[in-house]
Structure 1
Amino acid sequence: MTSDNDTPTSRLVLDAVRAAVSDANLPDDSLLAVALSGGLDSTVLLDATVRCFGASRVIALHIHHGLSPNANAWAAHCDAFAASLEVRFAARHVDVARAGGESLEAAARDARYRALDDLCDEQHARALLIAHHADDQAETVLLQLLRGAGVAGLAAMAPVRADGSLPRLRPLLHLLRAQLEQYAHERDLSWIDDESNADTRYSRNALRHDVLPVLAVHFPGFRDALARTASHAASAQRLLDDLARIDFDEARHREEEGALQLETLLALDDERALNLLRFWIRSRGLQAASTARIADMLRQLRDAAIARDGHALRIDHAGFSLRVYRNALFWEPGDSADAPDTDEGASAPKAPCELQWQGEEVWRVPQWRGSFVFELVDSPADDVIGEGVLRAAPLVARSRAGGERMRVAAEAPSRTLKNLFQERGVPAWKRDVPLLFSGESLLFVPLLGVNREAAPSAAHGPLRRITWRPDLLLA
């Protein structure tokens, strides 16, 4: 709550917190999560949020990275501070794993935000409040400028993330660190100092300690100027995203969900094509690609189109591969290290797996990282068989050996799996699936269906529909 004795600085902080939450249009009883590191900024934010909305509407979330020998003490400090405000407290340990070329700062930041989002979900928080301030924003814009970032990078930190996911609010983004220090002293708050903040081997710390003080002498208003730069860049990025949505709607593949039509993409000039690729990568939840990397993707796509060799194209990025098949451009999980050994899509043979079926609903086949699902159904259909077929002989999951044939309908001719896959437009790298045999008879092929030579359409007794589900689709 506010008081008549509040100083102008205190009122600035409290008004900023109230305005940010009000602008988010949350229900009046929404639980507000505050990311609490124990440092000055988050300490001020938690105190101010409790004063504005009451302790019952606030929960403090702390992420334990384990990167400092003092991490346990910091967690204990945060717990005690939250308790002093009568605020609920939740913490989570995270392991910071760096991908190739990723800085420790970036890896820790990504791990922290993932953990905070998970905690918000567990605690049913409706918004996450983060304590970044104007000095942080200035540092971010300068870092992005020095890295040669585009407008998305220069937009730096948004006051609110409103993309349909959990809102992240930054109420203090227009306040200076000096103002937060004054608030903390007036409120007699105590906070911790992360010793790594003094290590100028980290680029952000080098800017903070060696560059910004000099800028402040010669350009006293640099923070406001950089904040305006971020705002202008954010506006420009919104326009670029609007254009990308128009191009995406035109280029999206009508049959392959999440894919683009290669010809439509390549019909755009380079700038629009690159903008669409950036938007598409971001919308798929993938790590952003550098300017050089995304330009190389477009070059390879144009070269492959000219050479009519798109099927062989594989561009690895962030644990995925960009692939082309019949004018469909899409991302496949896994990179070249997981690639099949042959163009036909068959990797090294896997050991067979056997089941004496006794009514199981799900049979997991770990070698292929997936499961066969046997769904009970009421009426016959093209993809349905009788339980008697499943019980007649042991079910065996086997790798493709080559030359296998099947009938997709009782009256259809026997065809090779290769021909059927091609006819149905299944890319070669998607064909490494387990074949389901009943004894020595091929019974079912994922992506193709039931072999009617082994299971005639006419069936008696209970009926089952067989489907193949990769592990990621079972949850």
Structure 2
Amino acid sequence: MSLETRLLSCVQPWIDAPAWRVALSGGLDSSVLLHLLARLSHVQQLPPLSAIHIHHGLQAQADAWAEHCQQLCAGLGVPLEIVRVRVEGGASLERAAREARYAAFRERLGVDELLLTAQHLDDQAETLLFRLLRGAGVRGLAGMPPVRALGAGKLARPLLGVTRQELHSYASVHQLSWVEDPSNENLHYSRNYLRRRVMPVLTERWPQSASALGRTAMHLREAQLLLDERADEDLAQAASTAPFSWLTCPSLDMTVLSALSPARQRNTLRRWLDLLGTAMPDSDHWAGWDALRDAAVDAQPVWRLAGSELRRSGARVYWLSGDWCAEPPQPAAWDFVGGAQQLPGNGSLTLQGQGELPGLLQVRYRQGGERLVLAGRRQRDLKRLLNESGLPAFVRARLPLLWRGDELLAVANLPLLSDLTGSGLRLIWTPPGAAHDQAVLPPSQV
């Protein structure tokens, strides 16, 4: 079966996409992919085809590579967009370049458009070996998926079943030229070491090693799909209604999670964290979950992750990110003049209802010792009222309080505490992250 036929079979599910865009580096693999698609477009009705070249500016030849891509696309009659990105330095320049590249792709991919990249079977085999040597689990060993979401569209890898040698043969037959990145010869990079030193030895002893490793990745990907299905079932059980509907932090029922085996707990949490866009913790870091799960009921355990954290309160575990992970606002006071008012790092506040503002008002946070006069002129200690409400402890330092001079008038959002007595007004707080989407549930539950 020809490469064109195999490629067309792989991209058939997206034949009605608004546009196809090829990630073009100018190297062998992406040059062949673009050439194949351009040829197909002459004999098949395909979506509009264009290419994107990311100019990292990291090599002296970067401008020449962009010019080569321009000439290649001009010869094929394919529009090209050259995007210059800034790569931030760090421990891994390779990772930083990749993050900058995919950020540019996400920004430019329209709704339902398809980005096609040229990773092939040998790349998949190297990825599996690389992740195996790093101790990856099933998800990591499943390798690169053939398709995944990217921004408003999707990313597809239609050449994962094609070997590097097949691509090279195609390029030779069609007299294609391509650029060579000198960094691909640098054995300091682990992937280059695997490609140059390890894979040739394996192929000498087992000629079909790349194909075998590719099949292994496919089997593991299927196993991961089954694990995700099980996790989705467990998430649906654990994602019961939280007691405070206005609290936008995603949460799960600890009672349901604790009833699962430890392996199913980790599987469910991995799925949840993945849906929330949180980096997976490594094996040793899972001890943080054990400590959070087994903490005393009245404790306030925290499991800190990359860019987010889990907190337990009562019978629920909450996922916090963004402003929620910063220190609560320091004690301060803001004049409140009505309307929606932004609170620094803490969402916004407004008064709902019909009525006049009862004098000069200020917004403050708890400092301790506050007392509130309830309906019937009963004065109660605020700490006791919050304990009775069951409001999670991590929320209380952020909870806006409305004052008139030395008199506490209302506590935002809480029943009976948020009404300004006799005014017809109610204090409403929109916490940070209220626009967070509902990716806390598996797709079938959203």
Partner residue in 1 for 2:385: 420
> In 2, distance between residues paired with 1:290 and 1:192?
37
Aligned match for 1:384, one of 348, 353, 364: 353
Partner residue in 2 for 1:322: 310
Aligned match for 2:52, one of 50, 54, 61: 61
Give yes or no for contact 2:418–2:427 (8 Å, CA) kept in 1.
no
Give yes or no for contact 2:310–2:317 (8 Å, CA) kept in 1.
yes
CA shift for structure 1 position 450: 8.4
Report 1:230-379 matches (<5 A): 230-255=217-242, 258-294=250-286, 296-304=287-295, 307-309=296-298, 311-333=299-321, 338-340=326-328, 348-350=330-332, 352-354=333-335, 356=337, 361-366=339-344, 368-373=345-350
Residues 64 and 396 of structure 1, relative CA distance in 2, 3 Å threshold? farther
Partner residue in 1 for 2:102: 113
Give yes or no for contact 1:320–1:335 (8 Å, CA) kept in 2.
no
1:320-364 residue CA offsets vs partner (Å, 9 max, x unmatched)? 111100110121125998345xxxxxx5324x333555xxx4333
Aligned match for 2:128, one of 141, 155, 176: 141
* Counterpart residue type for residue 372 of structure 1: L
* Counterpart residue type for residue 362 of structure 2: V
Residues 339 and 356 of structure 1, relative CA distance in 2, 3 Å threshold? closer
Aligned match for 1:160, one of 147, 151, 175: 147
> In 2, distance between residues paired with 1:56 and 1:188?
26
Give yes or no for contact 1:141–1:226 (8 Å, CA) kept in 2.
yes
Residue aligned with 1:274, SS: helix
Give yes or no for contact 2:362–2:402 (8 Å, CA) kept in 1.
yes
Say if 2:430 is the partner of 1:469.
yes
Residues 236 and 81 of structure 1, relative CA distance in 2, 3 Å threshold? same
Residues 147 and 26 of structure 1, relative CA distance in 2, 3 Å threshold? same
Aligned match for 2:193, one of 181, 200, 206: 206
Unpaired runs of 5+ in structure 2? Answer: 244-248, 437-446
> In 2, distance between residues paired with 1:168 and 1:448?
45
* Counterpart residue type for residue 288 of structure 1: M
Residues 36 and 429 of structure 1, relative CA distance in 2, 3 Å threshold? same
1:385-406 residue CA offsets vs partner (Å, 9 max, x unmatched)? 42x317x43x433332323333
Partner residue in 2 for 1:40: 28
Residues 221 and 326 of structure 1, relative CA distance in 2, 3 Å threshold? same
Residue aligned with 1:223, SS: helix
> In 1, distance between residues paired with 2:93 and 2:413?
42
CA shift for structure 1 position 191: 2.2
Give yes or no for contact 1:62–1:75 (8 Å, CA) kept in 2.
yes
Give yes or no for contact 2:412–2:428 (8 Å, CA) kept in 1.
yes
* Counterpart residue type for residue 349 of structure 1: P
Aligned match for 1:196, one of 140, 165, 183: 183
> In 2, distance between residues paired with 1:465 and 1:66?
56
Partner residue in 1 for 2:169: 182
Unpaired runs of 5+ in structure 1? Answer: 1-7, 341-346, 375-382, 459-463
Aligned match for 2:116, one of 129, 142, 146: 129
State the identity as a percent.
Answer: 39
Partner residue in 2 for 1:4: none
- Cα RMSD of the aligned pairs, angstroms, is 3.2
> In 2, distance between residues paired with 1:349 and 1:418?
16
CA shift for structure 1 position 313: 0.7
Give yes or no for contact 2:322–2:433 (8 Å, CA) kept in 1.
no
Partner residue in 1 for 2:396: 431
Partner residue in 1 for 2:368: 402
Give yes or no for contact 1:82–1:89 (8 Å, CA) kept in 2.
yes
> In 1, distance between residues paired with 2:100 and 2:408?
46
Partner residue in 2 for 1:377: none
Residue aligned with 2:310, SS: strand
Give yes or no for contact 1:314–1:336 (8 Å, CA) kept in 2.
no
Residues 454 and 266 of structure 1, relative CA distance in 2, 3 Å threshold? closer
Residues 425 and 456 of structure 1, relative CA distance in 2, 3 Å threshold? same
Residues 188 and 238 of structure 1, relative CA distance in 2, 3 Å threshold? same
CA shift for structure 1 position 211: 1.0
> In 2, distance between residues paired with 1:469 and 1:335?
13
Say if 2:212 is the partner of 1:225.
yes
